[in-house]
Structure 1
Amino acid sequence: MAEVLALIDYGAGNLHSVANALKAAGAPHVTVTANPDVVRAADRIVLPGVGSFKACAAGLWGIPHMVEGMTERVHVGGAPFLGICVGMQLLATRGLEHGETEGLDWIAGEVRLIERTDPAIKVPHMGWNDVSPGLHDPASGLVEAGEAYFLHSYHFAPDDGRTVAAMTDHGGGLVAAVARDNVVGVQFHPEKSQAYGLALLSRFLEWKP
């Protein structure tokens, strides 16, 4: 029986593009859903996100029982989980965009504004940039070296460097991916990263953490 991948619709994601990219990467069954019961039964879960941390958190927590359903399926059921852009940032303990907002706290840390150490450095960080895998490889080879498309003004600063799966450089090091156990998050957009992004999604579909 084909695996079911739940792509969570909470009003804050580039759902059409992400769904198409997942299908192109080989996902046999992508279910776009706002139903926590569907999430509880899914084999894999993807949480996209575009916009501010505060607005995305409000959208996710605004769906009754969705956070509980995700938590149960991922932390108890062991389903592989991928967070994309703000979907990755929501893994943090808190976000500091438009005031302090509670995150999922699945990977301890906070989401902060990118500091401009050089006037030539533009914020938001937008466009193609290198992705360099972290030293500890917490994602078991899921995030490989390459170039990906970024669009963000805030960045994830984890408390534990061992959860950093990849870095990028934009006037200094920024976390490009985080991972812990069966949870991985990428700051870049795989659905906009052409062959590199599709290859990462394909590896996620095969990932057995």
Structure 2
Amino acid sequence: MRLVVALALVAGSVALAQEPKNPDLPKEIPVRYGVPPKVRNYPQDSPKKALLSALEAIDRGDGNYIVAHLMDPGFVDLRVNDRAKQYEADVEIELSRLRDFQIRNPEKFAPSDRLPTDRPKFNVLITEKSRERGFQQLVRDVQQKFLDDPLAIKDLQKLLRDGAVADTETGAKITHADVKDKALYLRKIEDRWFLENRHEDAPPPPMVPVPAPKKEGM
């Protein structure tokens, strides 16, 4: 059973490596976590368009796209790295068993399908597989959050329909009189808007005390 799981891991990595090519996609937007950008289906060129895209992705069950391309990428990368750590031990065991099986049965695997025996390259593969699992865990966490709080989607719909957009230091926020104590914050990176994981204004940076000038002779 573990060998089957490990084989599935490797097959998944090959599929992710062979991303579908679409000449209509903007070249400057990279594939993230195996998810290609769909800027025509999910535009992000304004705060409300980004919110609309998120709501449509939720409605379509496209949680992978929400996390990969609609949420703040810096936040996502940090959370994926945190979640990936809990999978590293299991991934290493599964891949090690598969690698050992390949070494004992080289005739059953094409050279391109064999796992690296070089330790640094093997460690890179462990990290990649762990991050893939970490990403999927984050997707499940986000989807579960909406299941646990169905009113959140209604609030987002109100913000989209009648919310007021205001500038912030890092981008924009959308507020609505009927959505109490909450605002949707978005960060602009280049020409796209991303949903942030906060509902309050970011605190001002801490004040650094200015040292008093030294008196001469002391």
Taking structure 1 as the reference length, the TM-score comes to 0.28
- Say which structure, 1 or 2, has more relative contact order (CA 8 Å, 6+ apart): 2
- Which has the higher Rg, Structure 1 or Structure 2? 2
Q: Report which of the two has the higher share of strand.
A: 1
Q: Which structure shows the bigger proportion of residues in helix conformation?
A: 2
Give the structure-2-normalised TM-score: 0.27
